Structure 1
Amino acid sequence: MKITVMSFNLRYDKPDPGMGQWEKRVGAIASVIQHYQPDLLGTQEGKPHQLRDLQTLIPEYKFIGGDRTGTGDGEHCAIFYNTQRLQLQKTQDFYLSDTPEIPGSITWETRLPRMATWANFVVGNSSISLTIVNTHLDHENAKARELGAALVSLRLMEFPSEDYLLLTGDFNANPRTLARMILADNHKIQDALATFPLEEQKTFHEFTGEAWDAIDTIYCDRRFQVEQVIIDREQWEGVWPSDHFPVIVKLSVENR
């Protein structure tokens, strides 16, 4: 079995000026997705209208997940999945705080609530159970990132042993930070970008095309064979699709 996974910070609709405007970027984002045809896509920062706009352009996908405020109006860690290849079994949100079941909860001195969305799927006609967690760690508070990473790592450990695990996200931390080291210590998953030099892992470029921080990645179950890892650094339709480059990982596992 082969599976393609993408992580993509969509850049929330502030709105931005010029070619950074959502309306001028959404077609390019859809083109990237259609080019790589991921089975699963973990997105960050998408607001409800952005997610709806994007789904209209990629009708073969559905998205799931709530928002970080619990009101339905805020930024999501939405997961898009190809309905032709994956059968959704269960999905749930949790919040990066001491009270993870309370929507919008903040307990780690952050200005904004942070969250994760997870979903479990059956892959095609196989017996393979696949669980993906998608998150966005805090952008200001290192301690909150560390606690958030620890909570996400703990939740990964709690899924059934037969589940093949994936973790997508904007971690707002490079691989040399404690937050990322906490995730690297999880014996169930591996960082798909870990074999790249740090300079080649950089994804955040602020619409310049010159990335300066390595904060986006995909962690995958150690039972997967990593076939290919791509950071797409191209313009699409004459624009930068986002202020982050998307990460794409192609994986395989023996059929069961």
Structure 2
Amino acid sequence: MKITVMSFNLRYDKPDSGVRQWEKRIGAIASVIQHYQPDLIGTQEGKTPQLSNLQALLPEYKFIGGDRTGTGEGEHCAVFYNPQRLELQQTKDFYLSDTPEIPGSITWDTRLPRMATWANFTVGNPSISLTIVNTHLDHENAKARELGAALVILRLMEFPSEDYLLLTGDFNANPTTLARMILADNYKIQDALATLPLDKQKTFHEFTGEAWDAIDTIYCDRRFQIEQVIIDRQQWEDIWPSDHFPVIVKLQTVSS
């Protein structure tokens, strides 16, 4: 069974100027997704209108996940999926704090609440159980990133052993940091981008096209065979779709 996964920080609908405006970028974002046709997309920063706009251009996808404030007005860690390939079984949000079940909770000295959305699917024939967790760690507080990473790993460990696991996200930390080491030091998942030299893992470019930080990646179950890893550094429709390059990983179950 083959599956293609994407992680993509969409950049929230900030009042940017020129071609950085959401209205100017959304077509390019849809073009990237349509080109790679991922089965699953872990997105970060999208607000409800942005996610609805994007789904309107991508009717073959559905999306799930609440926002980080619990009001419906904040940024999401929404997961888009192709229902023709994946059958949704269960989904839930949790919050990166000491009170993870309380929407919008902050306990680690961050200015903003942080969260994760997870979803379980059945996919393939014969089918497997596949669980994705999608998150966005804090951008300012290293300790909060470390605590958030540890919480995400604890949650991953709670899923049934038969689940094939995926973790997508903007981790706001490169692989040499403690937060990323916490994620990597795990017997269930592996960093797909670790197959590339560190200098080639950089994804954050702030609309310049020249990335300088390796903060986005996809972790995948060690039972998957990694067939291809892509960081898409192209312009689409003559603009940069976002200030982050999307990451795409093509996987196959070893028994396939």
Query: What TM-score results when the alignment is normalised by the length of structure 1?
Result: 0.99
Paired position in structure 2 for 1:46: 46
CA distance in 1, matches of 2:126, 2:4: 16
Q: After TM superposition, give the deviation of residue 186 of structure 1 in Å.
A: 1.3
Q: After TM superposition, give the deviation of residue 254 of structure 1 in Å.
A: 4.2
Contact 2:6 2:38 in 1 (8 A): yes
Paired position in structure 2 for 1:187: 187
Paired position in structure 2 for 1:24: 24
Identity %: 86
CA distance in 2, matches of 1:182, 1:9: 22
The yes-or-no answer on 1:78 pairing with 2:78 is: yes
Q: After TM superposition, give the deviation of residue 195 of structure 1 in Å.
A: 1.7
The yes-or-no answer on 1:239 pairing with 2:239 is: yes
CA distance in 1, matches of 2:175, 2:33: 26
Paired position in structure 2 for 1:227: 227
CA distance in 1, matches of 2:68, 2:186: 25
4+ residue stretches of structure 1 with deviation over 3 A?
none
Contact 2:223 2:254 in 1 (8 A): no
CA distance in 1, matches of 2:159, 2:126: 19
Q: After TM superposition, give the deviation of residue 204 of structure 1 in Å.
A: 0.1
Contact 2:5 2:41 in 1 (8 A): yes
Contact 2:225 2:254 in 1 (8 A): no
CA distance in 1, matches of 2:195, 2:4: 18
Contact 2:226 2:251 in 1 (8 A): yes
User: Deviation per CA, 1:143-176, whole angstroms, max 9, x where unpaired?
Assistant: 0000000000110011000000000000000000
Deviates more, 1:120-129 or 1:22-31: 120-129
Amino acid at match of 2:149: A
Amino acid at match of 1:90: Q
CA distance in 2, matches of 1:188, 1:124: 21
- What runs of 5+ residues in structure 2 fail to find an aligned partner? none
Contact 1:87 1:124 in 2 (8 A): no
Paired position in structure 2 for 1:144: 144
CA distance in 2, matches of 1:40, 1:139: 24
Query: What TM-score results when the alignment is normalised by the length of structure 2?
Result: 0.99
CA distance in 2, matches of 1:204, 1:59: 28
CA distance in 2, matches of 1:255, 1:192: 19
CA distance in 2, matches of 1:187, 1:56: 39
Contact 1:126 1:255 in 2 (8 A): no
Paired position in structure 1 for 2:198: 198
Paired position in structure 2 for 1:91: 91
CA distance in 2, matches of 1:195, 1:131: 22
Contact 1:91 1:117 in 2 (8 A): yes
Q: Secondary structure of the residue that 2:187 maps to in structure 1? A: coil
CA distance in 1, matches of 2:125, 2:194: 31
Paired position in structure 2 for 1:33: 33
CA distance in 2, matches of 1:126, 1:78: 27
Amino acid at match of 1:23: E
CA distance in 1, matches of 2:21, 2:10: 11
Q: Secondary structure of the residue that 2:166 maps to in structure 1? A: strand
Q: Secondary structure of the residue that 2:26 maps to in structure 1? A: helix
Amino acid at match of 1:212: W
CA distance in 2, matches of 1:90, 1:248: 24
CA distance in 1, matches of 2:254, 2:140: 41
Q: After TM superposition, give the deviation of residue 43 of structure 1 in Å.
A: 0.1
User: Deviation per CA, 1:72-130, whole angstroms, max 9, x where unpaired?
Assistant: 11000000000100000000000000000000000000000000000000004432000
Paired position in structure 2 for 1:208: 208
- What runs of 5+ residues in structure 1 fail to find an aligned partner? none
User: Deviation per CA, 1:13-61, whole angstroms, max 9, x where unpaired?
Assistant: 1121111000000000000000000000000000000000000000000
Amino acid at match of 1:175: P
